Amino acid sequence: MSDSQDAPAEANHPHSAEHAIIEARRAKAERIRARGDNPFANDVAARAAGCVTCDIAEVRALAASAEQGGRYATDQVEAVAAGKTLHVRGRVVALRSTGGLSFIRLRDRTGELQLLLSEEKMGAEYTRLHDLDLGDFLEAEGALTASKRGELSIEPLRIRIITKALRPPPEKWHGLQDVEARYRQRYVDLVANPAVADVFRARSLIVRATRKALDDTGFLEVETPTMHTLIGGAAAKPFVTHHNALDMQLFMRIAPELYLKRLVVGGLERVYEIGRNYRNEGISTRHNPEFTMLEFYWAYATYETLMDFTEQLLRSIDAALASAMPGPHATWTKARSFALDEPFARVAMNDAVAAAAGKTGIAAWVAPALHGGGAGLVNLLRDDFTGSMKEWSKSSARAKQIDWSNFRKGMARCDNDGERLFACYEYLSEPFLTEDYRAADGARSLPVFIKDYPFETSPLARRNDARPELVDRFELFVHGRELCNAFSELNDPDDQAARFRDQVDKKSRGAEETMDFDEDYVRALEHGMPPAAGFGMGMDRLCMMLTSQASIRDVILFPLMRQRAE
């Protein structure tokens, strides 16, 4: 894009090129007023007798039978639209004139269409083009026809500028390439880059398809508070706010979990919420401090139930997207490096760590991982292993890719073997999931459910009945990106109280990402919560995944941005 688009202060400078363009457009707006029209109109309706107002997609549907190989024959178009006068409205995205003919590309929410304007046929109306610029909104009335090149067109007898755009668009409508400017000026980005608009249409469809899948399964959509008196529902640092009238410190919610489970206690056995959460953490291609989360809770289900349901849910959402947007969906699917059409891998964390340890080629790790799995490796690494890191890191190409420094620091911060196993997973297995789990064709990665987490790392999940050192939990990773987190819910109030106390103890020792002791939630569990399973999925990440977007900012209309220095 031009420098003037990225620096609005310069554009307002009285001697800048863009300032001159804006002033020229203001002058045109005044000319429109002078002839009795409003350059910012609100009376947009057909005027000719029998004229029908249409979206552009409706115009194209009317002429569909006259299309052959992407071209339209004039006689066939005029035959299917005989006697019809059509009224269309939209933004001017292209404009060119030659002799007494002008060609305008008009875009509305449903598509684009050419206006073919003839000075000979329009007479005085044609002079209105003198005040028309790219970016203006225009209405036109006329008959359907086709150009000499076979392009479907409307040949207007009347046009009117209904909104004058005072600022020029990016050059050729494709000039807005600066990524930061695109995020800051999303209103321009959506016009300049039609593929961006497709992504946000897809987002709406994805949310709608998610709701339908849950509604059809008997879930009830609910709303819970977004301002909490306690920190709970996830291990994250919150945003803090203040309620003036009640003189209370409040926390913007990091998760709706504890409120949704209160509803399960109250007899609403299947509930879900799609809403905004807030976490005071860093910004990256996968993280935005304000994000949209789906959470649902399902009485009498287990985490195994949810693994099956998750596969069905993702495939049904993707199928709905393919049906509604076949063209863009085909492009996004071609760009995917993962498979959705095969059964997902299901791997216990202990086994994932053992398998990853084996792939490092580190001789000292072979026997412990072989005989004890991930837990065996934890026994070996429990003490400081700084002296062995240099030798181990040279064992293979895989070993060289491990972040040894942070791995050692992460292990040193652990208080117990459960946390150590999780640290081993984070540094030895998770970075290599796309490499280790492949679809049948070998060309794509396979989504992976990592399950059976150490109970120390999951303060709200139910312990496994056979192995109480683990909890019935899974996280789903799609091409290395975490998408879902789910578990069989903890419904023992005494166990839950003990875990809250452990979180409070961690906080007293300086840990920031911990939960508070929620006495009312423990009281709710004391009234009895049926066996249940809960599920959380980031809707932003789901949109990234299905539309093949590299950054979370590409699926959030107005992502948080650092303020620019003036």
**CA–CA distance, 167 with 23 (Å, rounded to integer):** 9
Structural domain contains residue 328? no
User: What is the domain range of residue 156?
Assistant: 41-163
How confident is the model at residue 428, as a pLDDT? 97
Q: At what angle do helices 493-508 and 519-526 cross, to 10 degrees?
A: 170
Domain assignment of residue 453, yes or no: no
Q: What type of residue is 275? A: G
532 contact partners, CB below 8 Å, separation of at least 6: 261, 264, 269, 297, 298, 299, 300, 301, 488, 489, 491
Inside any domain, residue 297: no
Q: Which amino acid does the sequence have at 282?
A: G
pLDDT at 171: 67
Q: Give the pLDDT score at 71.
A: 93
Please check whether residue 109 lies inside any domain of the structure.
Answer: yes
Domain for residue 119, yes or no? yes
pLDDT at 48: 84
199 and 548 Cβ atoms separated by less than 8 Å: no
Residue 566 pLDDT: 54
115 within some domain? yes
Tell me what pLDDT residue 176 has: 56
pTM higher than 0.85 for the full model? yes
Closest CA to 465 of 496, 486, 488, 485: 488
- The tally of domains found in the chain comes to 1
Cα 367–Cα 368–Cα 371 angle in degrees, nearest 5:
80
Specify the pLDDT at position 155: 95
Here the CATH number for the domain that contains residue 140 is 2.40.50.140
Burial of 282 (0-12, 13-18, 19+ CB in 10 A): exposed
**How many Å apart are CA 146 and CA 277, to the nearest integer?**
51
In this predicted structure, what is the pLDDT of residue 11? Answer: 56
| Locus of tokens 């009224």 | 87
- Whether 142 is covered by a domain: the verdict is yes
Query: According to the model, what pLDDT value does residue 14 have?
Result: 66
| Domain membership flag for residue 104 | yes
Q: What is the full per-residue pLDDT of the chain (566 aa) written as tens digits?
A: 333 344 445 556 666 788 899 999 999 999 999 999 999 999 988 888 889 999 999 999 999 999 988 899 888 998 988 889 999 999 999 999 998 999 999 999 999 999 999 999 999 999 999 999 999 999 999 999 999 999 999 999 999 999 999 998 876 545 556 788 888 889 888 988 889 999 999 999 999 999 999 999 999 999 999 998 888 877 788 899 999 999 999 999 999 999 999 999 999 999 999 999 999 988 888 889 999 999 999 999 999 999 999 999 999 999 999 999 999 999 999 999 999 999 999 999 999 999 999 999 999 999 999 899 999 999 999 988 999 999 999 999 999 999 999 999 999 999 999 999 999 999 999 999 999 999 999 999 999 999 999 999 988 889 999 999 999 999 999 999 999 999 999 999 999 999 889 888 888 887 777 778 999 999 999 999 999 999 999 999 999 999 999 999 999 999 988 887 65
Which strands make up the sheet holding 270-278, listed edge to edge?
220-221, 270-278, 290-299, 532-538, 481-488, 470-478, 448-454, 345-348
